[in-house]
Amino acid sequence: MLELLPHLNDKEKTPLYIQVYKYIKDEILSGNIPSGSKLPSIRSLSKDLKLSKNTIESAYEQLVAEGYVKSKNRSGLYVEKLDNEFNDIKSTHLNSYKERSNDSHDPIIKYDFSSGQIDLDSFPYTKFRKILESCVDVYSKELLLYGDHKGDYGLRQEIAKYIHHSRGVTCSPNQIIISSGTQQSLTLLAHILSNLHMSIAFEEPSYLGAKAVFKHFNFNITPINLETDGIDINFLHESEAKIVYVTPSHQYPYGMVMPISKRLKLLQWAEEKDGLIIEDDYDGEFRYKGRPIPSLQGLAKINRVVYLGSFSKSLMPSMRISYLVLPETLLDIYEKQYRIYEQPVPRLLQKSLEIFMQEGYWEKHLRKLKVLYRKKQEILVNSVAEHLGENVIIIGSDSGLHILLKVNTKMKEQELVEKALKAGIKVNPTLVNWINPPTNSLPIIFIGFAGIKIEDIPNAIKTLKECWFQV
C-alpha cells in the first residue's frame, strides 16, 4: 500500500489541506508516485496523518480538479498519466538538486589542513575488524542488552590504567563516565554544574564547541586572556567565575603548553575560590619537545579537577568515544540525579576498544602515530620556513596536531581562507574561537596536519605561498 508521509506544520499560515495537496502533487511530478498508483482512502490517510476527513477530502478534490488524479467509481483515486509537458516538469524537478549542486561550483579539495582529521592510512583496519568480529561471536548475547549507565566496566578499567601511566591521572574506574564525544561529556557536565554555579571562565581564545555547550545552558561566560604560558591567573582571580575550562597540555588553538608552575597556581586558585577546573586533554599524547607534564588532575591534592579525554584524535573520530573523570563531589550529584541517562555509546564499540587496549594494540598504534605525526610536524615546519619564510610567524609547534600561521598581509582572515580554497587547499579560520575578537591585528590561520599525506605537505605549502603572496 502507498504510504504518504508529508511534513506538515499547523503553525504555518498555509491551510493543512493545501500542504497535503502540494506534497502529493510534488511527489507525482517527481515520479515518486507513478501514474496508475492508487491513493490511500480518505479514511485511512486521515487516520495516518491524524487530520480530519474534511482536510484530506479537500486536498484530494484539488488534485482531481487540476487533473493529477482521477476518481474511479467504487474503486478510489488513481494518479493520471501525465503528458510530455508534465514529464518535462518532472525531469526538471528530479534534476533540480543535481543542477543546484553543479551550479555551486564547489572547489575540489586537494590538500586538507582542516581540524578534526586523522591519518587514514595508519588506522589498524585488519586488527580492529577482527576484534569487532570476535566480539560479535563471543559476546553476542551480552552486547544485545543495556549496559552500565557509566559505560562498560572493562573499558573504564582500561582507560583508568592508561591515563594513570601516560598522563598521571589518579582515579578509579568508578569515576569514569564514557560519552559519545567531548561535547556530550560537557553537556552532562553542564547539567551537573548547573546545580552549583552558573558562571564559567574560558581561555580567550578557546574551543568554540565547548563554549557553545555552556552558552546553551545559559551559563555566564567570562573570557580570560592568555599569557605566553597559558591563561592569565590574575585576571581569573579578578573574575566572578568559580569554574574554568582550560586546555593546559596543548592550548586550543594557540598551542602553548602550560608549565608546572602555572598549573600549581591554577590549582591554588581552585582551592582558594572553592572552584573547579575542567581540564580538556584533547590531544595531550602528541608532544614533540620536552618531557610530558603531568595532568592537572594528577597534580591536584584536592577534588577540584574534571578531566576530559577522547579517542577522536588518536584513534578515529567516527567511533565517538570520549570520557570524563569526575571528582567524588560531582560523582555524588551524578549518581543521585543523572544516572537515569542511558549510556549513548554502542556496547559493541566499547567492548572492541576494551580488547584493543587490553591486548596492547592501542599503545602500539599510539607509538606509531607519535612517530608519524612528529615527522609530519617537522616537514610542515620546514616547508613553512622554506616557502613562506618571513611572510608568516609559526605559533604553537611544540605539541598537538596543528600549528597556527600569523600571516603578514593586508588581507583579512576570511580572504586567506577563500583564496586557499580556490587553490584546492582547506584551512580553518581562528577568529571563530574568540568571544571578543581582536581588531587591527594580523590574520591567524589554523593548519592541521594529521590528515594530509607527508609527501603532499611541501607542495601544499608552496601552493599557499602562490595563492597568498604571488599576484
- Residue-wise pLDDT for 97-111, tens only, equals 555 545 556 678 999
Numbered ranges of CATH 3.40.640.10 in the chain: 123-361
Q: Which three cell numbers stand for residue 201?
A: 571562565
Q: How far apart are CA 44 and CA 41, in angstroms?
A: 5
Considering the entire predicted model, what is its pTM? 0.77
Residue 150 is classified by DSSP as T
- Provide the CATH topology of domain 16-99: Arc Repressor Mutant, subunit A (1.10.10)
The amino acid at 43: R
Does residue 291 have a pLDDT over 80?
no
Q: What is the pLDDT of residue 13?
A: 77
Write the pLDDT tens digit of every residue in 385-440.
Answer: 999 999 999 999 888 999 999 999 999 999 999 999 999 999 999 999 999 999 88
Write the pLDDT tens digit of every residue in 363-400.
Answer: 999 999 999 999 999 999 999 999 999 999 999 988 89
Indicate if the alpha-carbon torsion angle 115, 120, 122, 125 is positive or negative.
positive
Q: What is the pLDDT of residue 258?
A: 93
How confident is the model over 342-353, as a mean pLDDT?
Answer: 94
Least confident range from 170-174, 274-278, 310-314, 323-327: namely 310-314
How confident is the model over 64-75, as a mean pLDDT?
Answer: 86
Q: How far apart are CA 279 and CA 248, in angstroms?
A: 7
Q: Give the pLDDT band of residue 1 (cuts 50, 70, 90).
A: low
Residue 314 is classified by DSSP as T
How confident is the model over 330-359, as a mean pLDDT?
Answer: 94
Q: What is the pLDDT of residue 99?
A: 52
Q: What is the pLDDT of residue 144?
A: 84
Q: How far apart are CA 288 and CA 105, in angstroms?
A: 40
Q: Cα dist. 29→32, 267, 386, 437 in Å?
A: 8, 66, 59, 49
Q: Give the pLDDT band of residue 92 (cuts 50, 70, 90).
A: low
How confident is the model over 291-296, as a mean pLDDT?
Answer: 80
How confident is the model over 231-239, as a mean pLDDT?
Answer: 96
Q: Give the pLDDT band of residue 194 (cuts 50, 70, 90).
A: very high
Judge contact between 276 and 214, C-beta under 8 A. Answer: no
Numbered ranges of CATH 1.10.10.10 in the chain: 16-99
How confident is the model over 42-57, as a mean pLDDT?
Answer: 89
Parallel, antiparallel or unpaired: strands 402-407 and 444-448: antiparallel
Q: Give the pLDDT band of residue 207 (cuts 50, 70, 90).
A: very high
Numbered ranges of CATH 3.90.1150.10 in the chain: 111-120+364-469
Q: What is the pLDDT of residue 93?
A: 52
DSSP string of 170-204, one letter each residue: ---GGGEEEESSHHHHHHHHHHHHTTT--EEEEEE
Q: Give the pLDDT band of residue 303 (cuts 50, 70, 90).
A: confident
Write the pLDDT tens digit of every residue in 110-148.
Answer: 999 999 899 989 999 999 999 999 998 888 788 888 899
Judge contact between 256 and 394, C-beta under 8 A. Answer: no
Q: Which three cell numbers stand for residue 112?
A: 586538507
3-state SS class at 35: coil
Q: What is the pLDDT of residue 293?
A: 76
* Max Cα distance, the chain (Å): 88
111-120+364-469 CATH choice from 2.40.420.20, 3.90.1150.10, 3.30.70.520, 3.40.50.1220: 3.90.1150.10
Least confident range from 18-22, 211-215, 304-308, 442-446: namely 18-22
The CATH architecture that domain 123-361 belongs to is: 3-Layer(aba) Sandwich (3.40)
| Residue count of the chain | 471
How confident is the model over 450-458, as a mean pLDDT?
Answer: 96
Average of per-residue pLDDT values in the chain: 90
Which carries the bigger pLDDT value, residue 256 or residue 96? 256
Q: What is the pLDDT of residue 247?
A: 96
